[in-house]
């Protein structure tokens, strides 16, 4: 293990940087943010995205998903001439020495990663590799440990004995949706996984001026660091959710308890917010993946199975709170604030709201959904809900509360805190709020007359 504390003083000015051409395969969250970020830093970046609709939007300078500042940075990088979206993977394979693989690795029904996009990328790259130049392929997709080594093998396999000069690295990405641009420029650490030390200089040329320590490890270690980091975050969330459950039984307030725990520097307050469980395209997927990996290698996955169970049980717990608050759900109008899996994004993958909806419909509720950014994705991805007479999707927070019997808050947009609760109190039939993210100021909300329940504290509000 090498910690490059004093980063190499290379590539001092942007003129030299522009000589480095970087190819990126896949323009999802990681690929697009990496492309825009590296172009902004002065590198010449060529991006290939196989989804033609997305590619055309990107060529026109339109961000295909919501992410704070993404649109602005996309236009800036395109206008600088450093960023180009290309139609064929061959264009970037031929002209770039560094090729980042940022394709999706969704989880399959058997709870293992779907590697088909990586396989397809390996084949395409192999078909276009020049035999006389060295290429460095950098895996940035989240993958099972061992993938980088495999990727190299697969490329040689597709080369069918032709002269090949490639090296593989694994540089995992740690950015969060909703903070992706900020996180790209301000990472906590840069993990560079290599199995051949001769390419370290080539890679630090790209990363030397990021404000973060660089840790050099093997490719498999880098892959495990990524997986384990996400699973640690999941564990922290399930831990605090468990503590919040006991708080409710003991008459304690989780906010006081978590502050007391988190003020220990060794623990910290980050990722110690209780709620209705973690969602998104990463934490649940990586938890499944680590459980599968442990089972495959015959290591007991008990810790991660418990983390998963605690997370899955959050929706049952929320349903119990809803039943208790409403006494009878059938025929009631329930407003849900929150469709995306968290604030700052329109991404609805593995959002807790998606798990909650079928339970409430089964109980005979009428649902009114509101989210500042995610209604469009919800309508597109769940057309059956758009035509369900028991579901209304609205673009206006106040309209969502008209005649409502209960507001359930499932994600943590700032907008909810700033709502006019005096007005909402008047609009609702029975002014009750269940705050699944503990974001509303609760001594204050009681002054409006609401019945208000949150996670990890039980108190009499009426």
CB 451, min distance to ligand UGA, A: 24
φ, ψ for residue 97, nearest 5 deg: -80, -40
CB 282, min distance to ligand UGA, A: 3
Task: With CA atoms as reference, report the closest residue to 123 among 146, 82, 156.
Answer: 156
C-beta closer to ligand UGA: residue 98 or 273? 273
φ, ψ for residue 44, nearest 5 deg: -90, 120
The token pair that represents 259 in the structure block: 């502050």
Tell me if residue 298 falls in helix, strand or coil: coil
C-beta closer to ligand UGA: residue 129 or 282? 282
C-beta closer to ligand UGA: residue 341 or 378? 341
Q: Say if CB 179 and CB 345 are below 8 A apart.
A: no
How far is residue 25's CA from residue 344's CA, in Å, rounded to a whole number?
Answer: 25
C-beta closer to ligand UGA: residue 281 or 404? 281
Look at the chain and count its residues: 462
Q: Which of 96, 102, 231, 282 is catalytic?
A: 282
Kindly state the helix (H) or strand (E) to which residue 138 belongs, with its residue range: strand 135-139
Q: What is the largest CA-CA distance in the chain?
A: 77
Strands (E) in 11-126, as ranges, are: 21-25, 44-48, 83-86, 98-101
Which residue reads 């973060």 in tokens?
212
C-beta closer to ligand UGA: residue 247 or 326? 247
Q: Which residues contact ligand UGA (rule: CB under 6 A)?
A: 142, 173-177, 230, 233, 237, 271-273, 275, 278-280, 282-283, 341-342
Those residues with Cβ within 8 angstroms of residue 303's Cβ, 6 or more apart along the chain or in another chain: 235
**Other CB atoms within 10 Å distance of the CB of residue 83:** 26
Q: Say if CB 409 and CB 248 are below 8 A apart.
A: no
C-beta closer to ligand UGA: residue 144 or 280? 280
Q: Say if CB 117 and CB 125 are below 8 A apart.
A: no
Question: 282 catalytic, yes or no?
Answer: yes
CB 78, min distance to ligand UGA, A: 24
CB 240, min distance to ligand UGA, A: 7
| Catalytic (active-site) positions | 282
């Amino acid at each position: 293990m090498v910690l490059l504390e004093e980063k190499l003083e290379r590539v001092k000015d942007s003129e030299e940087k522009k000589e480095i051409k970087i190819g990126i395969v896949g323009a999802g969250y990681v690929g697009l943010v990496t492309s825009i970020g590296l172009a902004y830093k002065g590198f010449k970046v060529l991006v290939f995205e196989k989804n033609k609709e997305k590619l055309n939007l990107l060529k026109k300078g339109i961000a295909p998903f919501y992410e704070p500042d993404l649109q602005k940075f996309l236009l800036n990088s395109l206008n600088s001439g450093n960023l180009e979206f290309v139609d064929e993977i061959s264009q970037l394979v031929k002209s770039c020495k560094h090729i980042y693989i940022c394709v999706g690795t969704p989880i399959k029904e058997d709870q293992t990663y779907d590697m088909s996009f990586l396989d397809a990328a390996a084949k395409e790259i192999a078909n276009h590799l020049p035999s006389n130049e060295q290429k460095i392929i950098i895996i940035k997709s989240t993958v099972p440990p061992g993938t980088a080594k495999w990727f190299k093998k697969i490329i040689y396999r597709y080369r069918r004995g032709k002269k090949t000069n490639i090296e593989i690295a694994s540089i995992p990405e740690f950015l969060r949706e909703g903070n992706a641009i900020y996180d790209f420029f301000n990472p906590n650490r840069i993990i560079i996984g290599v199995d051949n030390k001769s390419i370290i200089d080539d890679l630090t040329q790209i990363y030397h001026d990021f404000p973060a320590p660089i840790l050099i490890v093997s490719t498999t270690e880098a892959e495990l660091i990524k997986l384990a980091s996400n699973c640690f975050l999941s564990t922290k969330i399930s831990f605090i959710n468990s503590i919040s459950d006991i708080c409710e039984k003991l008459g304690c307030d989780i906010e006081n308890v978590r502050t007391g725990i988190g003020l220990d520097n060794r623990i910290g307050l980050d990722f110690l917010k209780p709620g209705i469980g973690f969602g998104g395209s990463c934490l649940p997927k990586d938890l499944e993946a680590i459980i599968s990996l442990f089972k495959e290698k015959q290591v007991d996955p008990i810790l991660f199975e418990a983390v998963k169970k605690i997370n899955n049980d959050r929706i049952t717990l929320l349903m119990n709170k809803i039943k208790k608050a409403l006494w009878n759900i059938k025929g009631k109008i329930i407003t849900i604030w929150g469709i995306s899996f968290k604030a700052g994004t329109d991404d609805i993958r593995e959002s807790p709201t998606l798990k909650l909806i079928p339970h409430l419909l089964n109980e005979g509720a009428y649902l009114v959904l509101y989210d500042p950014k995610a209604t469009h994705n919800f309508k597109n991805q769940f057309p059956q809900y758009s035509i369900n007479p028991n579901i209304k999707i609205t673009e206006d927070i106040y309209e969502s509360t008209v005649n409502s019997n209960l507001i359930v808050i499932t994600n943590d947009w700032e907008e909810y805190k700033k709502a006019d609760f005096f007005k909402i109190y008047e609009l609702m039939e029975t002014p009750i709020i269940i705050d699944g993210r503990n974001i509303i100021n609760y001594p204050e909300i009681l002054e409006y007359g609401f019945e208000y329940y949150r996670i990890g504290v039980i108190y009499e509000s009426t």
